[in-house]
Amino acid sequence: MKISKNIEEKITMEMVLNKYNISTKDGNIECIYNSDHKNMKINKNYFSCTDCKKSGNIITFVSKIKNIGFEDSIRKINEDFNLNLDLTELTKLGIFEYNNSYLIRREDNKKESYITKPLTNFIIEMKSELKISDNSETHAIIKTNDNKKFKIYFTPKNLTSKNNFKASIKQFHSNLSFYGSDNELEFLINYIYKQKYDIIDGAKHEGIIKNNEQYLYVSEKSDLNKNNEKENKMLTLKAYKGIETTLLDKDIISDDELNSILNSLFEWNIDKKVLPTIGFVFSCFIKSHLSELKYKFPHLILNGERGGGKSCVCEDIINEIFSVTVATNASNISPFSFNKYLSSNNCVPFILEEYKPYSLNESILKLISNTMRSLYDGFVVRKGRQDLSVHEYKLIAPLIVVGEASINEPAIKERIIDILFTKTTHTKQGKYVMDSLKKQSKVLQKLGKTMLLESLSINLDDLQKEYDITYEKYEKYDLPSRVHNNITCITLGIVQLLKLCKKRNIKNPINKSLDEIIKIIAESQIEYLLDDGNNTKTAIDNTIDILDRMILLENSDYKFINNNTELALNINNFYDRYTKYIKDHGIKTEHLELKEFIKQLKQSKYYITYKPVKFDKAKKSHVLNYKILLEFTDLNNIVPSSNIEIDF
């Protein structure tokens, strides 16, 4: 008698459920293929799920819940239920290989005999499996029955059904075929995974990762240590790859090559533009270390008029140092691609080009703004998928935004390094230097590879000391705390380059002390970011600046009191006009509702009180200190109309 028929005559599905402590509800159990499905019906010898439509017999059921193959499932049933079956014919059943194909031999349901049928036109030779906490990726070689070979990889999701499996193998070659059922795929998977293969730690991103107190640069292809040697300890799962770079393929820069390029690297524009830009670039190699020390890392904004040189810097310097060739147009960015790229590498920057706030639609501007805040603060972004699952993106990549205008939103201003490019400083000499650098692209690529390897040797205690020393030197400039941290981080990028020069016995290419470098970077951000002040503007400051441009009506909308030292605002009189004004003029700013504006205004440094002030009649108004207000805003129209001088 056939083995499967013998089993069905001796035990039932109900006996199996009791044996393995699986409870039923109204004759149903939770689906053994998908726990979200609750309607797997149990019959005498069979099961079937009304949701995913999968079904099978007792042998299939035990095979699935115990994660074992067809033959092992029969042996376990025989042992657990004391059936004393004759298993001598068991070797005739199951998966086997023939002519680089998988075949399956099973019992014929109609005849007292066995049938053999093909399952595939290929076999799979397992190589390795990358494992992380909630995912895995298997790498293998496919050998076809016409003696061709392909490298493939697949994930657990690819093996959940015959349709998913077919789709996954078709992406490697259209002639690869699977002819079996879902149940037969289960048996095939168990057969394949019995091979010997390497288990490797997987990573959810590329970049610098600490592995057993050792820094490695991990990619989907390799993991390098500080000596430029492969460790073979960790690889990135292909699903988490985003930013394309060939950085690991480059050679280490020689002393002569380093000497030949350093001066040009700091001479393509004036120091106020060069030092913050180059500092940011090389600080990207220590971004993960700074994150480990709990320091937040800024974004770089390269903005200014056409012909100012910002695109040349991006294409001929930054792209080459990181060995990347592709940037993304801001108008084409989507939430999925933005999150994917920014969660894919903690060292190589993602470059967003053509940022033009006046021509981008509101949804893209909002996406860029919100993502920049989340990235700076190290948030995890959660997005739902069509299958109702939730995917998490941990945003880690350095970000460079290139466009004709900067970002004026107060919450973003204090999270960026702002560099303004103009034609006046993009001189003939600067263009000559850029042409020279363009011809040395391979040397720049080697410099990037070398700086990467140097970062793998960093001692966190030493980096902390360097941060503390640099931070202290910036304190005299009395900058906002985030700006203070940001320029400290990018200055450390220059420090790492100077350390490499010292290690190679090469003269300081900048010809400036650290104090002089710090002074230039501080003045750069005071000019470009803070508009020659010491503070980033808040949403309230920006709103008052716009109100000034609106031309408010004196003695109706505002009034100077107490010898012109205080400014009284009749806010209810003009705030609706302000809302219409920013809409009609397409002004991109953080718009606050009236109640929120008043709430935040009361917390500003220039707010005094809320008291009656006589306009056309006595009305309660919000009174501001005019002297302090001028420190935070740029008022040209809201000024005292009398000849009384204000003694500040």
The Cα 16–Cα 20 span in angstroms is 6
Tokens representing residue 221 in the block:
């292809």
Report helix, strand or coil for 48. Answer: strand
Burial class (CB in 10 A: 0-12, 13-18, 19+), 352: buried
The Cα 512–Cα 60 span in angstroms is 75
Which residue is associated with the tokens 């207000």?
Answer: 629
Query: How many of the other CB atoms lie within 10 Å of CB of 134?
Result: 7
The Cα 567–Cα 584 span in angstroms is 27
22-51 per-residue burial string, b: 16 or more CB within 10 A, e: under 16: eeeeeebbbbbbeeebebbbbeebebebee
- Asked if residue 302 lies in contact with residue 421, where contact means CB atoms within 8 angstroms, the answer is yes
Mean pLDDT, consecutive 10-residue segments, the chain of 648 residues? 75 91 87 86 88 82 84 86 78 77 77 76 94 90 89 90 92 91 89 92 95 93 94 92 93 96 94 97 98 97 92 95 93 93 96 92 92 93 68 92 89 93 90 94 97 97 97 95 97 97 94 95 93 74 91 91 94 92 81 90 93 83 94 89 48
- Check residue 96 and give its pLDDT: 84
For residue 325, what are the CA distances in angstroms to 306, 328, 349? 21, 10, 12
C-beta pairs of 636-645 under 8 Å, 24+ apart in sequence? 636/548, 637/548, 637/549, 637/551, 637/552, 638/547, 638/548, 638/552, 638/558, 638/567, 640/560, 640/564, 641/554, 641/560, 642/560, 642/564, 644/563, 644/564
Query: How many of the other CB atoms lie within 10 Å of CB of 87?
Result: 14
The Cα 639–Cα 156 span in angstroms is 69
- Asked if residue 466 lies in contact with residue 495, where contact means CB atoms within 8 angstroms, the answer is yes
The Cα 273–Cα 280 span in angstroms is 11
Sequence-separated (6 or more) residues with CB below 8 Å from residue 176: 120, 121, 122, 142, 144, 150, 169, 170
For residue 303, what are the CA distances in angstroms to 124, 420, 442, 605? 52, 5, 27, 30
Helix axes 441-455, 255-265, angle to 10 degrees: 100
- Asked if residue 187 lies in contact with residue 104, where contact means CB atoms within 8 angstroms, the answer is yes
Instruction: Read off the pLDDT of residues 596-647 as tens digits, 9 standing for 90 and up.
Output: 999 999 999 999 999 999 887 768 899 999 999 998 888 989 998 754 444 4
- Asked if residue 407 lies in contact with residue 416, where contact means CB atoms within 8 angstroms, the answer is yes
Using only the alpha carbons of the chain, give its radius of gyration.
Answer: 33
Sequence-separated (6 or more) residues with CB below 8 Å from residue 401: 299, 300, 301, 302, 303, 330, 352, 355, 368, 407
Pairing between strand 416-421 and 380-384? unpaired
The Cα 402–Cα 301 span in angstroms is 6
The Cα 287–Cα 209 span in angstroms is 11
Burial class (CB in 10 A: 0-12, 13-18, 19+), 631: middle
Among 95, 58, 53, 92, which Cα is nearest to 73's? 58
Residue 420 forms beta bridges with which residues?
303
Burial class (CB in 10 A: 0-12, 13-18, 19+), 84: exposed
Query: How many of the other CB atoms lie within 10 Å of CB of 616?
Result: 9
The Cα 186–Cα 180 span in angstroms is 10
The Cα 31–Cα 49 span in angstroms is 6
The Cα 633–Cα 159 span in angstroms is 61
- Asked if residue 399 lies in contact with residue 375, where contact means CB atoms within 8 angstroms, the answer is yes
Sequence-separated (6 or more) residues with CB below 8 Å from residue 584: none
The Cα 32–Cα 26 span in angstroms is 17
What is the pTM for the complete model shown?
0.76
Q: Is the dihedral of CA 531, 533, 538, 544 positive or negative?
A: negative
